Amino acid sequence: MAGNRLALITGASAGIGAEFARQYAAKGWDVALTARRLDRLDGLAREIEEKYKVSAMTISQDLARDGAADTILHELKEAGRHVDALVNNAGYGLPGTFFNTSWKEQADFIRVLYTVPIELTHKLLPGMAERDFGRIINVASLAGYAPGSSGHTLYASVKAGLIKFSESVHAEAETAGHDIHCTALCPGFTWTEFHDVNGTREMTNESPEWMWMEAAPVVKAGLEGVARGQPVVVPGMVNKGVATLTRILPEPVGRAIMKKQGKRFRKVD
């Protein structure tokens, strides 16, 4: 197992993050799993080691805390491991509007979903370049293509930022001639705990089933896309159609649609 490549996955305790861990392990990769819930991580690690016969390391860390990224990387260094693939998956929704949430809530949100993914990428890229191999997947969202909505104010802007960031890192690595691929994975509605945690499950359950995907095909699309060197991956035909529509619709029309439909899946109180 010591000779296996290692994938570091944030937000690995459930949902898309846990599925990334399983699919990387199925490919023979060792995995380093980080999230806040150590009990969930340890359970997943045991499952992975028993089923796939690879090494699974767990690191309990709250990415909203100062120094979280350095702590994770220090623990990996102490274990004598370097990162070959980074999956920036940790995230959540922050219900409410910009008016009725505190700055600390917003600042923590920006840190977990945007600052730390960029920090981890920046600190791991030199080693990837030195070894001439690296795979980075930033879990963005279809929301990054859509107009902003009332409620969950920074979600779309952060995800749009991750898309542009991933495109730029990928272009820089390609220009430098490195075997480093950076991909923004942009899922739409996915069956995970995400909507339970942010209190929108009842609202999103009103959406038709054909709009939803399971985590497994979402992750599979991300892994295949980063292997091919795609800077952006939108999984599923429905999501691809929505992403295309956001590009061709006149902006006032797009905003009007979001204003009308946003309240179906955005909690503003």
Indicate which CATH number applies to the domain containing 206: 3.40.50.720
112 part of a folded domain: yes
State how many domains the chain has: 1
Please give the residue range of the domain that contains residue 134.
6-264
Quick one: CA torsion of 115, 107, 184, 85, rounded to 10 degrees? 40
Report the distance separating Cα 134 and Cα 33, nearest Å.
18
Report the distance separating Cα 237 and Cα 56, nearest Å.
33
Report the distance separating Cα 265 and Cα 263, nearest Å.
5
pTM of the complete model? 0.86
Beta-carbon neighbour count of residue 147 at 10 Å? 18
179 part of a folded domain: yes
159 catalytic, yes or no? yes
Q: Catalytic: which of 24, 52, 145, 159?
A: 159
1 part of a folded domain: no
pLDDT digit string (tens) for the chain, length 269 residues:
557 999 999 999 999 999 999 999 999 999 999 999 999 999 999 999 999 999 999 999 999 999 999 999 999 999 999 999 999 999 999 988 999 999 999 999 999 999 999 999 999 999 999 999 999 999 999 988 887 777 788 999 999 999 999 999 999 999 999 999 999 999 988 766 554 444 444 545 566 675 669 999 999 999 999 999 999 999 987 878 777 777 765 566 445 455 555 555 555 55
167 part of a folded domain: yes
Q: Catalytic: which of 123, 155, 260, 267?
A: 155
269 part of a folded domain: no
Q: Are 160 and 148 in contact (CB under 8 A)?
A: no
130 part of a folded domain: yes
